[in-house]
């Protein structure tokens, strides 16, 4: 067998040292495997790495969103970005995004798909012990991409919400600028640890329903490592009805409307419990579970936005959105 050459990474590669080690290990196992199609999968990994390196170079070619630039007689930088985006609305927010932000979003999705590819290679052609270890690493990297995308969506919603105070919207834009500037190294846990820990914990909890009070789910969240500040926000004195409903959506994975119907049905039937199938866990597959968790957030996000725009009853934000507003209020300028 000819000597296997290592994968060559470009100067603007989006992969850090640990990620490169993972990729190289999966690539090596694929190229040395006797399983049908293994060599083709190995070459696909090489092609995908090259494409992602090119996308990283494209990202680096666009101006930083936080540095001052001169465009003829016009100057732009972080202050003008904050001013522009904090005056947008959901209908025109995308139009005012810096190109670096748009390319960065594409990069995050491309990386997510790449880590799914690595998992498939591990399952299909690698030896069991190595496959389990590498698949778990790929799952972890996918979650990093997922959480970045989720945080960006939460912040984008707040930045473009013309019902919020300009101060909160401006702080949301400042937080977004950090994502766009540090796209290759950004980690939600470094900037918003309350969300990172809570999302990690929620994926380890299976909602069962019961009385629909949520006490069991809250207890399991704490056991799974949820940031106490997340729960504290919703159990503080006098939370609004919308906040309580948003938290219940987060706990049970059902819309506020569905939960109300279930409660009415329980009362009508004289029942004191209901059984739920948790929609956030996928098919007990870690990567499929990550996709299911994103859908779990996205469904709540779209429903909340629809209520807000149509001015109909129900929570107007996700639980994460309400907590993020509180977090931003406490941020110093």
Instruction: Specify the pLDDT at position 205.
Output: 86
Whether the pLDDT of residue 285 is over 60: the answer is no
Instruction: Specify the pLDDT at position 275.
Output: 67
| pLDDT tens-digit series, residues 40-87 | 999 999 999 999 999 999 999 999 998 877 777 777 789 999 999 999
* Last residue within a domain, chosen from 187, 222, 243: 187
Q: Which pLDDT band holds residue 200 (cuts at 50, 70, 90)?
A: very high
Whether the pLDDT of residue 1 is over 50: the answer is no
Distance of alpha carbon 188 from its chain centroid, rounded?
A: 9
* Average pLDDT along the chain: 88
Instruction: Specify the pLDDT at position 324.
Output: 96
- Least confident stretch, 4-13, 230-239, 258-267, 274-283: 274-283
Question: Residue range 236-265: average pLDDT?
Answer: 91
Look at the block and give the residue holding tokens 């994926």.
203
Question: Residue range 103-129: average pLDDT?
Answer: 89
Number of domains in the chain: 2
Question: Residue range 221-248: average pLDDT?
Answer: 94
Same domain, 168 and 207: no
Of the chain, the percentage scoring pLDDT greater than 70 comes to: 93
Tell me if 33 sits within 8 A of 125, measured CB to CB: yes
Same domain, 168 and 203: no
pTM: 0.89
Whether the pLDDT of residue 233 is over 80: the answer is yes
| pLDDT tens-digit series, residues 12-41 | 999 999 999 999 999 998 888 888 888 899
Which residues, 6 or more positions from 46, have their beta carbon under 8 angstroms from its beta carbon?
Answer: 7, 27
Most confident stretch, 73-77, 164-168, 281-285: 164-168
* CA dist list (Å): 230 to 51, 142, 179, 252: 39, 23, 22, 16
Of the chain, the percentage scoring pLDDT greater than 90 comes to: 62
Q: Which residue has the higher pLDDT, 207 or 285?
A: 207
Cα dihedral 81, 87, 93, 96 sign:
negative
* Last residue within a domain, chosen from 187, 205, 229: 187
Tell me if 279 sits within 8 A of 255, measured CB to CB: no
- Least confident stretch, 71-75, 130-134, 250-254: 71-75
* Last residue within a domain, chosen from 158, 187, 216: 187
Same domain, 271 and 213: yes
Separation CA 154–CA 326 (nearest Å) = 13
Question: Residue range 7-12: average pLDDT?
Answer: 91
Separation CA 83–CA 86 (nearest Å) = 6
Instruction: Specify the pLDDT at position 263.
Output: 84
Instruction: Specify the pLDDT at position 245.
Output: 95
Same domain, 1 and 86: yes
Domain that holds residue 6: 1-187
Whether the pLDDT of residue 286 is over 60: the answer is no
Whether the pLDDT of residue 111 is over 60: the answer is yes
DSSP 222-288: HHTT--HHHHHHHHSSS--HHHHHHHHHHHHSS-HHHHHHHHHHHHHHT-S-EE---TTSTTS-HHH
Same domain, 182 and 33: yes
Same domain, 161 and 202: no
Whether the pLDDT of residue 4 is over 80: the answer is no
Q: Which pLDDT band holds residue 282 (cuts at 50, 70, 90)?
A: low
Q: Which residue has the higher pLDDT, 137 or 278?
A: 137
Instruction: Specify the pLDDT at position 9.
Output: 93
Instruction: Specify the pLDDT at position 102.
Output: 96
Report how far apart the first and last C-alpha atoms of the chain are (Å, whole number).
60
Same domain, 34 and 180: yes
Instruction: Specify the pLDDT at position 54.
Output: 96
Same domain, 112 and 215: no
Same domain, 208 and 287: yes
Same domain, 84 and 138: yes
Same domain, 180 and 204: no
């Amino acid at each position: 067998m000819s000597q296997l050459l290592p994968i060559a990474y470009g100067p603007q590669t989006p992969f850090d040292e640990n990620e490169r080690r993972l990729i190289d290990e999966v690539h090596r196992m694929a190229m040395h495997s006797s399983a049908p199609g293994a060599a083709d999968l190995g070459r696909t990994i090489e092609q995908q790495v090259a494409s992602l390196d090119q996308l990283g170079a494209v990202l680096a070619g666009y101006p930083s969103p936080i540095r001052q630039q001169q465009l003829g007689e016009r100057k732009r930088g972080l202050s003008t970005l904050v001013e522009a985006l904090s005056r947008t609305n959901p209908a025109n927010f995308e139009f005012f995004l810096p190109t670096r932000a748009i390319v960065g979003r594409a990069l995050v999705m491309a990386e997510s798909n790449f880590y799914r590819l690595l998992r498939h290679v591990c399952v299909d052609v690698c030896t069991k012990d190595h496959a389990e270890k590498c698949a778990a690493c790929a799952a972890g990297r996918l979650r990093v991409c997922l959480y970045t995308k989720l945080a960006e969506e939460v912040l984008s919603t707040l930045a473009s919400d013309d019902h919020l105070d300009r101060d909160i919207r401006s702080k949301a834009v400042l937080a977004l600028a950090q994502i766009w500037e540090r796209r290759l190294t950004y980690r939600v846990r470094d900037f918003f640890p309350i969300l990172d820990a809570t999302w990690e914990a929620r994926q380890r909890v299976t909602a069962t329903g019961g009385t629909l009070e949520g006490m069991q789910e809250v207890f399991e969240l704490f056991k799974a490592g949820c940031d106490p500040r997340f729960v504290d926000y919703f159990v503080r004195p006098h939370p609004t009805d919308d906040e309580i409903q948003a938290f219940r959506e987060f706990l049970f994975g059902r819309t506020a409307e569905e939960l109300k119907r279930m409660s009415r049905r329980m009362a009508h039937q004289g029942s004191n419990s209901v059984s739920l199938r948790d929609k956030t866990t996928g098919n007990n597959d870690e990567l499929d579970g990550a996709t299911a968790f994103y859908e779990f957030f996205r469904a709540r996000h779209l429903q909340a936005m629809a209520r807000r725009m149509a001015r109909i009853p129900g929570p107007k934000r996700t639980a994460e959105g309400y907590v993020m507003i509180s977090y931003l209020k406490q941020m110093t300028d």
